[in-house]
Structure 1
Amino acid sequence: MDPAINPADTPVVVDLSAADVRARLREALAIYVAAMEYPRGTEHHRAPMWAEHISRPGWRAVGAILADPNSHANRDSPLVAVAYGYRGAPHQWWHQQVHDGMRRFGWTEEATLAMLSSYFELTELHVHPAAQGHGLGEAMLRRLLDDRTERTALLSTPEVDGESNRAWRLYRRLGFTDVVRQFTFTGDSRPFAVLGRPLPLHLAARTLRTPLTTDPAPPL
């Protein structure tokens, strides 16, 4: 169900515990479906995956809840945004896909392994369409990446003509640069970009770049 958003309410970014996400998984997935414009019912297929991710090492989640200006926000306040991620590892599907994508894109094996040796995977970041335009995406991403011990943050996002949507503008504004472009993950026909930046956030984005030994090969 879509959250009932009162224009007078103020979205507040909060940390979400594993118990919070388990208790509000249905609500969080409804935001995911609305933000991604997926057909209703998609949430049923994603629920087991989100639940499994909670147990992964380094998992962290944040969200945004609505706070009535005349009262304090509480855990029962409507959830309007959610983001989470965890420490990447070689046995994970996304890690294996990105490894293959980097090699196809022209990265050397040495550079690929170095990039993937210590990273935080930004797995999901979604703001309900009715709550967009309040800076929640940036606030959540900054909070999620604060004090991480990994060397790099990595994410994948669908390719968009001219990079002209809120997600792309956010990632570029926070210094995420190209790792792989026009990559097709197994089971999804859409082209994706894999973006990354060094951690902590105050480091210059250019320190992430690893020169390719040759011109990048076209993605397969």
Structure 2
Amino acid sequence: MEDPAVGPLDLAARVDEALRVQAVAFGLTEEEILVRRHIVLRHLATPGARAYGAVTAAGRLVGFGYGLPCDRAQWWASVVEPCLRKNGVDDWLDDSFTVTELHVLPDYQGRGIGRALITTLTDQVRQPRSLLSAIDTESPARVLYRKLGYRDLARQVRFPSAPRPYAVMGAVLPLRRRERPAAGPR
């Protein structure tokens, strides 16, 4: 299995393909896909929105991520704000870049694609920090986010219609890169 290339993605043109990736990686129903399609397209109209994809040499999208500058008037921020305020960290909603979605097909997970997508997505944004939400369980995604420098800002956050609670995580940008092993004696 070849390594896909990570680069800018015209998410509006490939939204259906991206949502199929999300459906497999995250377990969405057809109804949820239709709802999210409209949300993604609305998000992409936000100034500063960015999207990156992992594409095989044959042109197959196997992972994607997108985000946008955080705005307290956005639905997501309005849901997480009370939880962040309760923990004394609601200032994270100001001057942050929100990683809205990040998904990689299961057959391609564990190969550094998610790391490449999120670091590329957040590199070059003007905001000094990043926010995201992830299901509040010890998953490979949460392990990756911690390695990149994200820390829990709020846990057990409930989104309407989401069956499981989420954690809101924040990191100072740029995200941490892998530590390189020290060179041995020559």
Partner residue, 1:57 = 47
Matched, 1:32 2:6: no
Matched, 1:10 2:40: no
Q: TM-score, normalized by length of structure 1?
A: 0.76
TM-superposed deviation, 1:56? 0.7
Matched residue SS, 1:180: strand
Q: Which amino acid aligns with 2:3?
A: T
Contact persistence 1:148–1:200 (CA under 8 A): no
Partner residue, 1:21 = 11
Aligned residues, how many?
177
Which structure: larger Rg?
Answer: 1
Coordinate RMSD, CA, aligned = 1.6
Matched, 1:149 2:123: no
Partner residue, 1:3 = none
Once residues 182 and 45 of structure 1 are traced to their aligned partners in structure 2, the CA distance between those partners, rounded to angstroms, is: 24
Identical columns (%): 37
Please list, as runs of the form range in 1=range in 2, the aligned pairs for 1:1-220 lying within 5 A after superposition. 7=1, 9-16=2-9, 20-67=10-57, 77-104=59-86, 106-107=87-88, 111-112=89-90, 114-160=91-137, 163=138, 165-201=139-175
CA deviations on 1:163-211 (whole Å, 9 max, x unpaired) are: 1x221111011011010011112332311100001122259xxxxxxxx
Tell me: CA distance 1:101–1:116, structure 2 relative to 1, closer, same or farther (3 Å). same
Contact persistence 1:35–1:129 (CA under 8 A): yes
TM-superposed deviation, 1:42? 2.4
Contact persistence 1:61–1:84 (CA under 8 A): yes
TM-superposed deviation, 1:39? 2.7
Tell me: CA distance 1:174–1:189, structure 2 relative to 1, closer, same or farther (3 Å). same
Moved more, 181-190 or 115-124: 181-190
Contact persistence 1:157–1:193 (CA under 8 A): yes
CA deviations on 1:27-72 (whole Å, 9 max, x unpaired) are: 000000100022344211211000111011210010000026xxxx
Once residues 17 and 162 of structure 2 are traced to their aligned partners in structure 1, the CA distance between those partners, rounded to angstroms, is: 25
Contact persistence 2:5–2:55 (CA under 8 A): yes
Tell me: CA distance 1:157–1:202, structure 2 relative to 1, closer, same or farther (3 Å). closer
Once residues 196 and 10 of structure 1 are traced to their aligned partners in structure 2, the CA distance between those partners, rounded to angstroms, is: 29
